[in-house]
Amino acid sequence: MRATLIYGAGDVRIEDVPDPVLQDPTDAIVRVVRSCICGSDVWPYGSRAATAEGGRIGHEFLGVVEDVGADVAGIRRGDLVVAPFVWADNTCDFCREGLQTSCRHGGLWARDGIDGGQGEAVRVPQAQGTLVKLPVGPDSALLPALLSLSDVFPTGHHCAVTAGVNPRTTVTVIGDGAVGLSAVLAAKRLGAEQIILMGRHKDRTDLGREFGATDVVAERGEEGVARVRELTGGDGTHTVLECVGLKPAIETAFGVVRDGGTVSRVGAPQYPDVPADFGVFSRNITLTGGVAPARAYIEQLLPDVLEGRVQPGKVFDRTVTLDEVPDGYRAMADRSALKVLIQP
Amino acid sequence: MRATLIYGAGDVRIEDVPDPVLQDPTDAIVRVVRSCICGSDVWPYGSRAATAEGGRIGHEFLGVVEDVGADVAGIRRGDLVVAPFVWADNTCDFCREGLQTSCRHGGLWARDGIDGGQGEAVRVPQAQGTLVKLPVGPDSALLPALLSLSDVFPTGHHCAVTAGVNPRTTVTVIGDGAVGLSAVLAAKRLGAEQIILMGRHKDRTDLGREFGATDVVAERGEEGVARVRELTGGDGTHTVLECVGLKPAIETAFGVVRDGGTVSRVGAPQYPDVPADFGVFSRNITLTGGVAPARAYIEQLLPDVLEGRVQPGKVFDRTVTLDEVPDGYRAMADRSALKVLIQP
């Protein structure tokens, strides 16, 4: 089959790789129907050291089950399924607590001999725990929205949930990328009435307004902090959803959070230290968030997606074939695309 | 009257200062019956730059009301009262949320013309909101325990509460100072069954065991982390109460916390950046805590103190007169005393 490999910064190729086959009785083989490129794929695309052999990439996909191992129940050939961006047995103590990203028998896609999502097919380990069956066919108009359940929408949701967003909390979302916009949608869905979106790409913040943002702040740094404080009577917001992962973003987060409030971060941090100094301490600010256990949220979010009450698929603004994936990376990297859907 | 002034590192003096008088109708004058020295007083005692004029110090006291302003209700001359270590109106929105440390009309003792606690008397601003009446006389044997409500016991309690300690959580407490031991007591009071105390002063960890610690780990750094993990099946504890404030302590905290768990810090951080890197992010660790709003907890903790169900006053292991306060600072700094009580 063909799949995407990354050889280093700016160097993504589509190549022939071995067809996946069942290896363990807990495996399934899934033919990919839709995949996509993640903001977190753009980090290695921007900076990864060149290697001779290349490595698989991609961790979001939905597809049709082609085969299942003897120990897989509840999933059968022909089912349309979505995979969360971390695979997990969904039965260990961490999984039962809703932290499938720390599963005792789970792991990451595109690592250690596991296929990536940006290819024609995937061997899925711990298939019974990992995959969620979708009650639509592979030609459904809902596929983009359903694919968003793999990562981007649950990631925004995780950010809002861990921050404690509810109808009584004010919210700032930092970042108008696909995760930031998904966080706006999640905050709105959880009942937040004031959602301030910090971002400066008008087409993106327009979608943010459609998703529920009540205010848009285009300014950054000190100016951005001042503007958010102005919009909140000087206090900042109870919750801040940091959806970027760069140090200036987390600095801004501490600047716009209300005393006693919570900053949640889901943008993979590209910095080793958090500037949570004595000032942050004295204001009793909580820092939470992390890699979203998407698996914990898929069933919860699915009904609203199926019934169209939320439309998280709107973050996809370009579709490519597998051969065009390198173009998709370029478009994500130069920000001409918000999020790229792959139709293999 | 006489009061304590700090002139710089290692230079604490008892001097004559003006007697406090009512300035605002919301003030009260309190004659100090007991005060004490805080671990956080030892930071400036260790490092403060020398000054010609000196500054007042001390933020924990209980005493007898001598006079009240016209707007102070519920507190009258002759009442024995305890003051939290931050004064507050106890009516603004932050106070109503239990965050009196961010009170819109509150502030710190021993700053900006406000008396410190380590003196003979104190003018108390926002007296009605700040002071809590105690139902015992000034000769009660409970005075040390009641004085601990001013700071050290609520600080340990805040650490445990914000970390989410309950009967189902395992706990590590980092630090065997008065705050760490108070955090052990608070965790036990909240029902925790496994409480691992990290500390290496046997007399202190012995008191920790009396307060409820089930295990003591004397090792530090990597060795200490390994030992806590060994005691918890390799996983670490759900909650970590960081009661030191130095960078190695917060590093250890992230090392001993279970995936999905919470680190709460109440040791005033002597570092600008928190080492909460991608590893901490990927494990979904929450960092919380901060300056404890002691005022929010005093009434809650008072019954257990009055009835002797908890004995937080045991952290005081030396008593000095006001004239001996400089000796008290030396004893705290060289760790020959755990916490020094002042009987003016």
Contact B162 A288 (CB under 8 A): no
**Which of B247, B263, B289 is the last residue before a domain boundary?**
B289
Residue B143 has a pLDDT of 98
The domain that holds B147 is classified in CATH as 3.90.180.10
Same domain, B145 and B160: no
Measured between CB atoms, which of A94, A260, A275 is closest to B272? A275
Cβ–Cβ contact A233 with B under 8 A: no
Tell me: the pLDDT tens digits for B228-268? 999 999 999 999 999 999 999 999 999 999 999 999 999 88
Average of per-residue pLDDT across A140-149: 98
Domain's final residue, options A252, A267, A289: A289
Tell whether B131 and B184 lie within a shared domain: no
**Reported confidence tier of residue B52, pLDDT bands at 50, 70, 90:** very high
Q: What is the mean pLDDT of residues A7-23?
A: 98
A283–B94: do the CB atoms touch at under 8 Å? no
Instruction: Give a three-class secondary structure readout of chain B.
Output: CEEEEEEECCEEEEEECCCCCCCCCCCEEEEEEEEECCHHHHHHHHHCCCCCCCEECCCCEEEEEEEECCCCCCCCCCCEEEECCEECCCCCHHHHCCCHHHCCCCEECCCCCCCCCCECEEEECCHHHHCEECCCCCCCCCHHHHHHHHCHHHHHHHHHHHHCCCCCCCEEEECCCHHHHHHHHHHHHCCCCCEEEECCCHHHHHHHHHHCCCEEECCCHHHHHHHHHHHCCCCCEEEEEECCCCHHHHHHHHHHEEEEEEEEECCCCCCCCECCCHHHHHCCCEEEECCCCHHHHHHHHHHHHHCCCCCHHHHCCEEECCCCHHHHHHHHHCCCCCCEEECC
Q: Do A286 and B287 touch (CB under 8 A)?
A: yes
**Claim: this prediction has a pTM higher than 0.90:** yes
A47 and A132 belong to one structural domain: yes
**ipTM of the shown complex:** 0.96
Residues A178-209 have pLDDT tens digits of 999 999 999 999 999 999 999 999 999 999 99
Number of domains within chain B? 2
Q: By residue range, what is the domain housing residue B232?
A: 156-289
Nearest CA to A36 among A80, A6, A79, A4?
A: A4
B142 and B6 fall within a common domain: yes
Q: Does B233 touch chain A (CB under 8 A)?
A: no
Q: Which residue of B has its CA nearest to A274?
A: B274
Q: How confident is the model at residue B281 (pLDDT cuts 50, 70, 90)?
A: very high
What is the average pLDDT score of chain A? 97
Least Cα separation, residue B162 to chain A (angstroms): 9
Q: What is the CA radius of gyration of chain A?
A: 20
Same domain, B165 and B38: no
Task: Indicate whether A172 and A105 sit together in one domain.
Answer: no
Mean pLDDT of chain B: 97
Q: What region, left, alpha or beta, does residue B336 occupy, with left being phi > 0 and alpha being psi -120 to 50 degrees?
A: alpha
Tell me, what's the pLDDT at B337? Answer: 97
| Contacting residues of B for A273, CB less than 8 Å apart | 273-277
Chain A contact present for B222, CB below 8 A:
no
Same-domain status, B315 and B273: no
What CATH number is attached to the domain comprising A169?
A: 3.40.50.720
Nearest residue in chain A measured CA to CA from B234: A104
Supply the pLDDT for residue A74. Answer: 95
pLDDT of residue B162: 98
Residue A27's pLDDT is what?
98
Q: Kindly determine whether residue B273 and residue A269, on different chains, have CB atoms separated by under 8 Å.
A: no
| pLDDT of amino acid A11 | 97
In B, which residues are within 8 Å of A162 by CB distance?
284, 286
Residues A159, A95 share a domain: no
Q: Which of B273, B287, B290 sits opposite A275 (nearest CB)?
A: B273
- Residue A254, CB-side half-sphere exposure with 13 Å CA sphere: 19
Residue of A nearest to B108 (CA): A282
Judge if B311 and B285 occupy the same domain.
Answer: no
B332 and B191, same domain (yes or no):
no
Q: How far is B285 from chain A (nearest CA, A)?
A: 7
- From the CA of A307, how many Å to the nearest CA of chain B? 31
* Domain identity same for A142 and A217: no
Does B99 contact chain A (CB < 8 Å)? yes
Domain's final residue, options B274, B289, B304? B289
Average pLDDT (B307-311) is 98
Using DSSP's 3-state secondary structure scheme, residue A130 falls into: helix
pLDDT digits (tens, 9 = 90+) for A52-70: 999 999 999 999 999 999 9
Question: Using one digit for the tens of pLDDT, what is the confidence trace for A226-256?
Answer: 999 999 999 999 999 999 999 999 999 999 9
Nearest CA in chain A to B265: A281
Claim to verify: residue B88 and residue B115 sit in the same structural domain: yes
